[in-house]
Amino acid sequence: MSMTLIARPRVREARTGLHQCDHCDARPSSVCNAIPDHLLDRLAAASVVLDIPPGTTFITEGEPATAFFNVTRGTAKLFKLLPDGRRQITGFAHLGHFLGLAVSDTFAFSAEAIDPVKLCRFSRARLRVLLDDFPAMEKRLLEVAANELVAAQEQMLLLGRKTARERLASFLVMQSRGGAPCQPQRRRIALPMTRSDIADYLGLTIETVSRTLTYFRTERLIDIPAQSELLIQDLEALENLADCLT
């Protein structure tokens, strides 16, 4: 039996005195903003910076949740697997996203870097201390959890009740807002994830994703200058489709 040997990428760990939270890109949008500026050294001391190469799984479903993460750069996909390999991507984690809410001793999902990802890692114990010392951070976590719950319910609606066209439209509209609601919309969308990722996120196959995107293109709703780049031509039509007003 031939065996492919895959070099397991070593996760580079950078724990240095240089690690500073005060000019972290993620802070404005992350739970860390609950900690006042003059105490940021506490936060820096509790965390370790990691560099994750693309394709690396850094959280595995079912493994003990000994540490939590904060994404400070890049995009990760969060997913669950069935024994036969079927996959459901439950979300994409961008700048500022806190990983470790859906947890009950063990992680309920796996996480894999799509492009080069930078993480802040907090051990469970150290985070516990931080939360006890900064109740505001716990409040922020609750806020974040509430928002994720809203998003999750929206996704259930999509997966349970929307058609392929509606799912793709919803996805594109969401991406045009940078993955979060209430953000300014951009016509140009970067798609760091593959078609397969999009399919597994929307509960479809890659063929259906591909076909539907070409439909949208022939209908002049979008343009696809490159594989990982997309231009929205008719946002209103897509929004109507997404909210199923058609």
Partner DNA sequence: CGGTCACTTGATCGTCTTCAATACCAGTGG
Partner DNA sequence: CCACTGGTATTGAAGACGATCAAGTGACCG
Contacts with DNA by CB under 7 A lie at 163-165, 194-196, 203-211, 213-214, 224, 227-228
CA dihedral over 92, 98, 104, 106, signed as positive or negative: positive
CB of 162 to a second copy, least distance (A): 8
Q: Which is nearer to a second copy, 13 or 143 (CB)?
A: 143
Q: Which is nearer to DNA, 128 or 161 (CB)?
A: 161
63 in Cβ contact with 109 (< 8 Å) = no
Give the one residue of 18, 37, 86, 236 binding a second copy; rule: CB under 8 A: 86
Stretch that binds a second copy, among 41-49, 50-58, 101-109, 212-220 (CB under 8 A): 101-109
Segment 149 to 178, residues that bind a second copy, using CB under 8 A: 149-150, 152-157, 159-162
Single-letter amino acid, residue 59: I
Which residue in 107, 103, 104, 99 sits closest to 63, CA to CA? Answer: 107
CB of 157 to a second copy, least distance (A): 4
Burial of residue 13, with CB atoms counted within 10 A of its CB: 0-12 exposed, 13-18 middle, 19 or more buried? exposed
Q: Which is nearer to a second copy, 129 or 145 (CB)?
A: 145
Q: Which is nearer to DNA, 60 or 88 (CB)?
A: 88
Distance CA 114, CA 195 (A): 12
Give the one residue of 20, 25, 133, 139 binding a second copy; rule: CB under 8 A: 139
| Secondary structure element (H or E) that encloses residue 94, with its range | none
Q: Which does 235 bind (CB under 5 to 8 A by kind): a second copy, DNA, none?
A: none
Helix, strand, or coil (residue 98): strand
Q: Which is nearer to a second copy, 44 or 134 (CB)?
A: 134
Which residue in 154, 194, 93 sits closest to 213, CA to CA? Answer: 194
181's CB contacts (< 8 A; 6+ apart) are 174
Q: Which is nearer to a second copy, 87 or 217 (CB)?
A: 87
φ, ψ (nearest 5 deg) of residue 226: -140, 165
Q: Which is nearer to DNA, 118 or 165 (CB)?
A: 165
Distance CA 14, CA 31 (A): 21
Give the one residue of 57, 60, 88, 194 binding a second copy; rule: CB under 8 A: 88
Distance CA 100, CA 116 (A): 20
Q: Which does 224 bind (CB under 5 to 8 A by kind): a second copy, DNA, none?
A: DNA
Residue in this structure with the two tokens 């928002």, named with its chain if needed = 147
CB of 224 to a second copy, least distance (A): 24
108 in Cβ contact with 102 (< 8 Å) = yes
Give me the residues that bind a second copy (CB under 8 A), please. Answer: 80, 82-84, 86-88, 90, 101-104, 108-109, 135, 138-139, 141-142, 145-150, 152-157, 159-162, 200, 202-203, 243-245
